[in-house]
Amino acid sequence: MKQKNGFIAVSMIYSFFLVFLMIVLASSAKNAQTRQLLRTIKEDVKEELNQKEFIVIHLPKEEEYQISQEIDFVGDIWQVVENKTDSVVLVLKRELNTKEILESLEAEMDNETFFGEMCNESFCYVKMCTSKFSSKFCYYENQSNYLNYQWNNSIIKYVLERWLEKNVNLQKICRGQYNQEMEKRICQKDTLMEMTFSDGISSQKGYIRIPTNEEIQNAPTWLSNNLNAWTLTKEKVINGKNYIYSFTNSVIADEISMGIRPVIEVRKN
């Protein structure tokens, strides 16, 4: 009788285990299908945007955009860095990926280590300055042969400008100003605004950049918890070595490779 009861107990345990295993497998399969569906939807949205002659956006002046608020903007998720009266400053929530960075560097790449790129399927990190002589970029070869960092001679600025040129959707965006007679929103091309900012050395201007150290210091954790992304702010120079702030500390521009999160300023309607 005891053997029979023991057999029944073991059978029940195995039965419960099999049911539990089936539930876990079914849940995993469902999650995988959901992730694939979201990726498909995102790609469909991007493809639809690519087919449009221009993309009319609507960012109302009266809306109070909150710092760290996520905005789905022309096929990507951006986050609010600063809400201004007539515009909103946005940072891309993700870092630029391997395909985007390598395509941007393609015209300048002459060997595998020139830009110190560290890329795989998950991430792509690049140096701010190169570790060999360059007539275009800041670099450091030794204490007597180097070119100090400025935002204008950085590798990251070059990557961002090429990325912006290749980003079809950002090139197409227009403000959606409503026309009463036409009863629709018409395209106002001055959507991306030229920003004025400091690289820690001098005043700079541009339509695309990365965050400043001041923005990181004043930001909540949504921005400052990314340990492997550049800011554009220079801290100091020691024996020709340029130290640039990252999201958490300062690192040597020609030795460390880090991620890139673009910043743009978009005019409100």
In this prediction, residue 32 has a pLDDT band, given cuts at 50, 70 and 90, of low
Three-state DSSP state, 114? coil
92-122, pLDDT tens digit by residue? 999 999 999 988 887 776 544 457 778 887 7
Measured CA angle at 164 (ends 163, 169), to 5 deg: 110
Taking the model in full, what pTM does it have? 0.74
The secondary structure of residue 162, as a DSSP letter, is H
Domain boundaries, the chain: 1-51, 87-165+190-267
Contact yes or no for 128/156 (Cβ under 8 A): yes
CA 206, CA 152: separation in Å to the nearest integer? 10
116-146, pLDDT tens digit by residue? 778 887 789 999 999 888 888 999 999 999 9
CA 230, CA 253: separation in Å to the nearest integer? 10
Residue 118 one-letter amino acid: M
CA neighbor of 269 nearest in space, from 54, 63, 75, 80: 63
